[in-house]
Amino acid sequence: MLAKRIIPCLDIRNEYVVKGVNFLNVKEVGNAVELGAEYARQGADELVFLDITASHERRKTLVDLVKQIAAHLNIPFTVGGGISELGDIEKLLAAGTDKISINSAAVKKPDIVDQMACHFGSQFVVVAIDAQFKDDKWTVFVNGGRIATDKELFSWAREVEDRGAGEILFTSMNHDGTKNGFACEALSSLAEQLKIPVIASGGAGNMHHFVDVFTKGKADAGLAASIFHFNEITVPDLKDYLINNGVVIRK
């Protein structure tokens, strides 16, 4: 069995780390460079950087900030937000990015997933999917959760896998920031339908939620933000807890 991964997430707005609830009421919580360095020191398996307003504001990702964070990391670094063409990716690679996460651009121009996989390899391509459960279906949203699309979570995930995505980062908008646990039922369905890894995001509130997401949700990685940012849980303590509960984890 592959070891499960713990991934802190830096949601970025105006160069600061922020966090909200259900994608709303977003507040600043810290310095991106300092937090990234601390999570690497604690033994996080990876770090994710999401420029959450780049697509909405129709601008590019903050390359200089990415470079500053990458300089302090010794773990894989995934960056997303405002990426719409291969030239954007090349700049982020040069800044120290290991993987690229795309969301809005993939929905608007799906063949960018094919292009990325062809040019850089599937292992480099993470497709982020923000979805909300309403009226008995999971609807995909873009532009930082602002705009509903005609796409449905499971069919869209299967499509991007077929196009060459190497991983899916699924965020449940219903669970985001609530600290009530991950969307384990939806995650389990994703895991059963896909051959590529699934990163779970949205809802982490305590250490047992990670046990649930790795067992009931069958996720390959658990991503969280506020519980780490506010020191409610540290990465080393979480890893010890998971090991004690029979979860295979990297120490």
54 contact partners, CB below 8 Å, separation of at least 6 = 60, 61, 62, 81, 82
Rounded to whole angstroms, how far apart are CA atoms 189 and 128? 16
Query: What residues are paired with 77 via a beta bridge?
Result: 47
Rounded to whole angstroms, how far apart are CA atoms 236 and 251? 8
* Annotated active-site residue in 11, 45, 51, 176: 11
* 162 is known as an active-site residue: no
* Signed CA dihedral, 241, 23, 7, 122: sign only: positive
Rounded to whole angstroms, how far apart are CA atoms 247 and 214? 8
Rounded to whole angstroms, how far apart are CA atoms 201 and 32? 19
Rounded to whole angstroms, how far apart are CA atoms 1 and 187? 18
Rounded to whole angstroms, how far apart are CA atoms 122 and 163? 9
* 111 is known as an active-site residue: no
Q: Tokens 């303590």 map to which residue?
A: 237
| The Cα angle at residue 224 between residues 223 and 226, in degrees rounded to 5 | 170
**What is the CB neighbour count within 10 angstroms for residue 16?**
15
* Annotated active-site residue in 130, 176, 212, 220: 130
Q: Which positions are annotated as active-site residues?
A: 11, 130
